[in-house]
């Protein structure tokens, strides 16, 4: 989140940022809450001082009647104090709730706009794939290959759940190994993370764990939710910690299942594996010095390009517009691959610089030396590879006229084959 004092001193800047991000927040109400908090803090402090002085006075009074009168007055003041402390707690809760809604500032070079059509292409590797035959969509190809079972997923769990099976499992594991091999060579610490996190950590990272627009599945009667990405658990790993500045940057790579309600999701790419409630992902997360976060974002984007170009997929990188940035993101780049059956680019990864927005919410700081003052770290995240959408891209781009799929060379050592062939009925 943004610092409260910064918001109050820069209301015009924050208001302008809200407008370019399409976020509506009443900053005047926030200021009123902040003023009320200051007044209540002063009132509570004054009452406590008065009570301390009365306690001292009681020790030096001569008569029991005087002591009794002062004690009765003290009891009345204590009741007032309890009421003021309760009011203060309520105001601080409301103030924090409003402050948490305010998104991060926006990088001056991020495009201004409201939808993905306003994103700006900044890089392309390879060209869109076109075929001499009529290409099939990934869902028809997957069913013919017998590598996915949506009907079984619906029976056991519900709509938009599925089973990967046969070569689909091998393909999933090969993709994960491929991504981990690259991250390991780049010095990332690798983790297999929990699939659950406390709601405080989820909120701290910037996901809304409550309300109709939440993407988070909550666990009934527990302060837990299923994670939507390992960004949540990797970021939460250092919540409340003071990091030695000499250890920065910390580069973490995490494997996890990801669960998303997809509340309000609709439109293009709603069928098959592209938009589902559960998938497996390899995530990158970085803690770094504030002055290094811009170049670390470029580094994560370059890694994503390296991974997907290494699979031989045509791709492009887009600079996301202000209206498409998530709350924590100061700047974000999406990597999109060509989906030939639909004739469009489809997002498969993203990378974001969140500056100190998440660190401030989770109280993650660094210190350079004994004499230095602790500062909030900067955090970044990027998807190395998400299995479901990557499988979609591989099936559609490497399909052959006979319905078989050429296995990317980078994956053949794990799959042990060069081609996936349809099952003969």
Beta bridge partners of 192: 255
- The active-site residue, picked from 98, 350, 361, 396, is 350
Contact call for residues 51 and 74 (beta carbons, < 8 A):
yes
Query: Cβ contacts of residue 115 below 8 Å, gap of 6+?
Result: 321, 323, 324
Which DSSP state fits 277? S
Report d(CA 6, CA 1) in Å as an integer: 11
Residue of 14, 40, 16, 21 lying closest to 93 (CA atoms):
40
**DSSP reduced 3-state for 266:** coil
* Closest by CA position to 423, among listed 146, 30, 21: 146
The SS3 of residue 313 is coil
Sign of CA dihedral 250, 201, 181, 121: negative
What is d(CA 259, CA 241) in angstroms, rounded to the nearest whole number? 27
Helix or strand (DSSP H, E) at 259: strand 250-259
User: Residue 200: which of 351, 87, 96, 325 has the closest Cα?
Assistant: 96
Q: Is 389 a catalytic residue?
A: yes
Please report where in the chains the tokens 């002063």 appear, as a residue.
Answer: 42
Dig out the tokens for 26 from the structure.
Answer: 């009443």
Say which residue the tokens 């970085």 belong to.
286
Listed residue (386, 425, 406, 401) closest to 167, CA to CA: 406
3-class SS at 211? coil
Which listed residue (21, 260, 316, 360) is catalytic? 260
Q: Which is the catalytic residue, given 275, 316, 331, 361?
A: 275
* Catalytic residue check, 350: yes
Note if 360 is an active site residue. Answer: no
Choose the catalytic residue: 98, 283, 324, 347: 347
Burial of 381 (0-12, 13-18, 19+ CB in 10 A): buried
Q: CA nearest 282: which of 241, 254, 251?
A: 254
Half-sphere exposure of 18 (CA within 13 A, CB side): 16
Which residue pairs, CB below 8 angstroms and at least 24 apart, start in 47-53? 47/77, 47/80, 47/81, 47/84, 48/81, 50/77, 51/77, 51/78, 51/81
Catalytic center residues = 260, 275, 347, 350, 389
């Amino acid at each position: 989140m943004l610092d409260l004092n910064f918001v109050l001193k820069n209301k015009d800047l924050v208001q302008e940022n809200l407008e370019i991000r399409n976020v509506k927040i009443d900053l005047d109400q926030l200021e009123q809450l902040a003023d009320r908090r200051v007044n209540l803090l002063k009132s509570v402090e004054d009452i406590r001082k008065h009570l301390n002085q009365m306690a001292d006075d009681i020790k030096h009074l001569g008569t029991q009647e005087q002591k009794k009168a002062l004690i009765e007055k003290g009891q009345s003041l204590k009741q007032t104090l309890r009421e003021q402390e309760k009011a203060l707690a309520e105001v601080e809760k409301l103030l924090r709730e409003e402050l948490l809604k305010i998104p991060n500032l926006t990088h001056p070079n991020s495009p201004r706009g409201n939808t993905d059509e306003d994103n700006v292409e900044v890089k392309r590797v390879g060209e869109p794939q076109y075929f001499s035959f009529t290409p099939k969509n990934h869902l028809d190809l997957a069913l013919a290959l017998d590598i996915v079972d949506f009907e079984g997923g619906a029976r056991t769990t519900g709509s938009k759940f599925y089973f990967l099976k046969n070569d689909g499992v091998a393909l999933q594991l090969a993709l994960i190994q491929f991504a981990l091999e690259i991250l390991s060579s780049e010095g990332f610490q690798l983790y297999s993370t929990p699939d659950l996190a406390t709601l405080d950590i989820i909120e701290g990272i910037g996901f809304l764990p409550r309300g109709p627009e939440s993407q988070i599945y909550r666990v009934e009667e527990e302060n837990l939710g299923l994670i939507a990405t390992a960004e949540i658990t990797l970021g939460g790993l250092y919540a409340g910690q003071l990091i030695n500045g000499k250890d920065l940057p910390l580069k973490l790579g995490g494997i996890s299942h990801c669960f998303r309600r997809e509340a309000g999701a609709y439109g293009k790419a709603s069928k098959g594996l592209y938009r589902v409630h559960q998938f497996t992902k390899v995530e990158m997360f970085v803690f770094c010095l504030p002055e290094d976060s811009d170049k670390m974002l470029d580094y994560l984007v370059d890694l994503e390009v390296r991974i997907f170009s290494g699979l031989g997929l045509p791709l492009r990188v887009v600079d996301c517009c202000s209206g498409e940035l998530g709350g924590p993101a100061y700047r974000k780049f999406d990597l999109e691959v060509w989906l030939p059956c639909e004739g469009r680019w489809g997002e498969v990864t993203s990378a974001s610089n969140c500056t100190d927005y998440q660190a401030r919410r989770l109280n993650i700081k660094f210190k350079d030396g004994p004499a230095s003052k602790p500062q909030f770290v900067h955090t970044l995240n990027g998807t190395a590879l998400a299995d479901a959408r990557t499988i979609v891209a591989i099936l559609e781009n490497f399909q052959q006229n006979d319905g078989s799929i050429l296995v990317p060379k980078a994956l053949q050592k794990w799959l042990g084959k060069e081609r996936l062939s349809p099952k003969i009925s």
